[in-house]
Amino acid sequence: MTGRVVVIGVGNPFRRDDGAGPAVIKALRARVPEGTVLTDSDGEPGRMLGLWHRQDAVVVVEVVHAHPGQPGRLHTLTAERAARCAARSASTHALGLGETFALAAALDRMPRELTVHAVEGGDFGLGRGLSTAVADALPELIRHVAKAVDQAHDRLRHVGALTDDRGTV
């Protein structure tokens, strides 16, 4: 089994910049290869772990609050780096992605590969609509995520070809 490519947009569209993750998911609907799983999440660790399988390639899209911050600045993190950041979580949610990944690792529920694409937010107040800085960064963030999805599909196809040729990887 070669798994799936799962893209998770973490956030709350009713908390201004925190809606960037779901906005990316909406924009990707017509841009990703067939079979890509696109979903939103509020970031709750148990629900996050339920969205992927061990054989999947997972791309998470998240908004972070950095100190000092630069709203609109983009970041790409591996699961390992995000887990190392758990102690100083910059997520806008009660538990950050680092804690979620540490829990997944402890429960042996990490996917085959996991990448986080994040944008720094500046306005997390109540309401809809992204700040200018995050809205301006959104097209580049969408391009980064779409490229990551295409690359993940290529890698999973390669793993599938190896499995077909030699049995188990």
pLDDT in tens, 93-131: 445 777 788 888 888 889 999 999 999 999 999 999 999
- Please report, for residues 12, 79, 101, 119, 154, the alpha-carbon distance to residue 68 in angstroms, rounded to integers and kept in the order given: 22, 23, 24, 14, 37
> For the residues 140-144, what does the mean pLDDT come to?
98
Fold assignment, 5-164:
Rossmann fold (3.40.50)
Percentage of the chain surpassing pLDDT 70?
84
0.95 cut: is pTM over it? no
User: Domain residues of the chain, as ranges?
Assistant: 5-164
